[in-house]
Amino acid sequence: MKDCVFCRIIAGEIPAAKLIETDVVLSFLDIAPVNPGHCLVVPKRHVATLLELSQDELNICIFTVQRLAGAAARATGAVGFNVLQNNGRCAGQIVPHVHFHIIPRSPDDGFKFGWREGSYAEGELEEVQRGIRKLL
């Protein structure tokens, strides 16, 4: 897709600090990193969300994420890492090409999630469970 920044990186039209490249995936350093070593894994085929990946593409993406997470953490001296994958603008997906973030972490890096804990009303948990299981 010619308007997609990741497709343009994959095509070599935009430079990137590449890390791993296969016939299926490309990984590179994020140019606006949360922390040093923040990298991305993208499938070469343009698809917008996780739900559109084939099982083979997903397996290769996740294997690449696993390899990079360890390497990025060791290279930066991080003691942990986050793997993030957003689907849809409301979930924080800015580029509509499926991608996985790997963010090396240290205890004092200052990065915080805006996580909030909710709860279910009486019977709601079971209702949601039934709805999801019905669609599986």
Q: What is the pLDDT of residues 107-134, one digit of tens each?
A: 999 999 888 899 999 999 999 999 999 9
What is the CATH number for 24? Answer: 3.30.428.10
Asked whether the beta carbons of 30 and 39 are under 8 A apart, the reply is: yes
Residue ranges of the chain whose pLDDT lies below 50:
none
Decide: pTM greater than 0.85. Answer: yes
- What element of type H or E holds 24? none
Is 38 assigned a catalytic role?
Answer: no
Tens digits of per-residue pLDDT, 89-100? 999 999 999 999
pLDDT at 63: 98
Domain that holds residue 74: 5-135
Catalytic residue among 38, 97, 99, 101: 99
Among residues 44, 38, 37, the alpha carbon closest in space to that of 4 is found at 44
Count of domains forming the chain: 1
pLDDT for position 40: 98
Amino acid letter, residue 79: V
pLDDT of residue 2: 80
**What does the pLDDT read at residue 113?**
85
Local structure of residue 96 (DSSP, 8 states): S
Distance of alpha carbon 46 from alpha carbon 9, whole angstroms:
12
Place of tokens 């996780």: 50
